[in-house]
Amino acid sequence: MLEEIRKKTFLGFDFSTQRLKAVVIDESYAVLQEADVEFDVDLPEFRTSGGVIRGEDGEVTVPPLLWVKALDMVMDKLIVEGVDFSTVEALSGAAQQHGSVWWAKGADERLANLSPEQFLHTQLASAFVVDSPVWMDCSTSADCRALEEAVGGAEELARITGSRAYERFTGAQIRKMRRTRARAYAATERISLVSSFACSLLAGRVAPLDLADGSGMNLLDIRSMQWCEKALNACGDDTLRDKLGAPVRSATTVGAVGGYFVQRYGFPPTCRVVAFTGDNCSALAGLRLQPGWVGLSLGTSDTLLLGLREPCAPTAGHVLVGPTSAPYMALLCFANGSLTRQAHRDRLAGRSWPAFDELLRATVRGNMGYMGIYFECAEIVPRAAPLRRLEDAGGRALERLAPQFEARALLEGQALARRAHAEDMGFTLDEKSRVVATGGASVNSALLQIFADVFNAPVYVQDSHANAALLGAAIRAAEVWSEETGIALSGSEPTVSPAAKPYPDAERIYGPMLRRYRKMLEHIPTLL
Ligand SMILES: Nc1ncnc2c1ncn2[C@@H]1O[C@H](COP(=O)(O)OP(=O)(O)O)[C@@H](O)[C@H]1O
Ligand SMILES: O=C(CO)[C@@H](O)[C@H](O)COP(=O)(O)O
- Domain residue limits, the chain: 2-280, 337-376+386-462+495-528
Ligand 2 atom with the smallest distance to the CA of 278 is 8
Tens digits of pLDDT across the chain (528 residues): 445 567 999 999 999 999 999 999 999 999 999 999 999 999 999 999 999 999 999 999 999 999 999 999 999 999 999 999 999 999 999 999 999 999 999 999 999 999 999 999 999 999 999 999 999 999 999 999 999 999 999 999 999 999 999 999 999 999 999 999 999 999 999 999 999 999 999 999 999 999 999 999 999 999 999 999 999 999 999 999 999 999 999 999 999 999 999 999 999 999 999 999 999 999 998 988 888 899 999 999 999 998 888 887 777 889 999 998 889 999 999 999 999 999 999 999 999 999 999 999 999 999 999 999 999 999 999 989 999 999 999 999 999 999 999 999 999 999 999 999 998 887 888 889 999 999 999 999 999 999 999 999 999 998 777 789 999 999 999 999 999 999 999 886 777 899 999 999 999 999 999 999 999 999 888 765
For ligand 1, atom 14, which residue shows the shortest CA distance? Answer: 440
Centroid of ligand 1 to alpha carbon of 299 (angstroms): 6
Centroid of ligand 2 to alpha carbon of 239 (angstroms): 28
Is this prediction's ipTM beyond 0.90? yes
- Which residues, including other chains, have CB under 8 Å from residue 116's CB and lie 6 or more apart? 259, 260, 263, 264
For ligand 1, atom 20, which residue shows the shortest CA distance? Answer: 299
- Distance between CA 424 and CA 139 in Å, rounded? 27
- Distance between CA 173 and CA 185 in Å, rounded? 11
In the three-class reduction of DSSP (H, G, I as helix; E, B as strand; rest coil), residue 140 is classed as coil
Q: Please choose, from the candidates 261, 274, 270, 161, the residue with its C-alpha nearest in 3D space to the C-alpha of residue 218.
A: 161
Ligand 2 atom with the smallest distance to the CA of 338 is 13
Distances (CA, A) of 420 to 55, 209, 305, 473: 32, 32, 14, 30
Total residues belonging to the chain? 528
Query: pLDDT (tens digit, 9 = 90+) per residue, 459-471?
Result: 999 877 778 999 9
Centroid of ligand 2 to alpha carbon of 242 (angstroms): 26
Q: Say which CATH architecture domain 2-280 belongs to.
A: 2-Layer Sandwich (3.30)
Which ligand is located closest to the Cα atom of residue 353? 1
Q: What is the pLDDT of residue 5?
A: 63
Q: What is the pLDDT of residue 527?
A: 63
Pocket test residue of 210, 215, 280, 281 for ligand 2, highest count of atoms within 8 A of CB: 280
Q: Give the CA angle between residues 147, 149, 154 to the nearest 5°.
A: 85
Ligand 2 atom with the smallest distance to the CA of 95 is 8
- Distance between CA 183 and CA 244 in Å, rounded? 18
- Which residues, including other chains, have CB under 8 Å from residue 356's CB and lie 6 or more apart? 345, 348, 349, 407
Which ligand is located closest to the Cα atom of residue 318? 2
Centroid of ligand 2 to alpha carbon of 296 (angstroms): 12
Which ligand is located closest to the Cα atom of residue 216? 2
- Distance between CA 338 and CA 356 in Å, rounded? 13
The reply to whether ligand 2 has any atom less than 6 angstroms from the CB of 218 is: no
Fold matches, 2-280 and 337-376+386-462+495-528: yes
Q: Ligand 1 pocket by C-beta < 6 Å: which residues?
A: 16-19, 299-300, 338-339, 341-342, 353, 439-441, 443-444, 447, 467
Pocket test residue of 195, 300, 381, 467 for ligand 2, highest count of atoms within 8 A of CB: 300
Centroid of ligand 2 to alpha carbon of 299 (angstroms): 7
- Distance between CA 192 and CA 101 in Å, rounded? 5
Which ligand is located closest to the Cα atom of residue 414? 1
Question: b/e map of 41-61 (b: 16 or more CB within 10 Å)?
Answer: ebbeebebebbbbeeeeebbb
Centroid of ligand 2 to alpha carbon of 16 (angstroms): 7
The reply to whether ligand 2 has any atom less than 6 angstroms from the CB of 333 is: yes
Q: What is the pLDDT of residue 1?
A: 42
Centroid of ligand 1 to alpha carbon of 349 (angstroms): 17
Q: Please tell us whether the domain made up of 337-376+386-462+495-528 is placed in CATH 3.40.50.720.
A: no
Which ligand is located closest to the Cα atom of residue 49? 1
Pocket test residue of 338, 356, 438 for ligand 1, highest count of atoms within 8 A of CB: 338
For ligand 2, atom 12, which residue shows the shortest CA distance? Answer: 17
Pocket test residue of 287, 300, 345 for ligand 1, highest count of atoms within 8 A of CB: 300
Ligand 1 atom with the smallest distance to the CA of 467 is 17
In this structure, what are the phi and psi dihedrals at residue 293, rounded to the nearest 5 degrees? -95, 150
Q: Please choose, from the candidates 257, 330, 340, the residue with its C-alpha nearest in 3D space to the C-alpha of residue 296.
A: 330
Q: What is the pLDDT of residue 4?
A: 53
- Distance between CA 107 and CA 193 in Å, rounded? 15
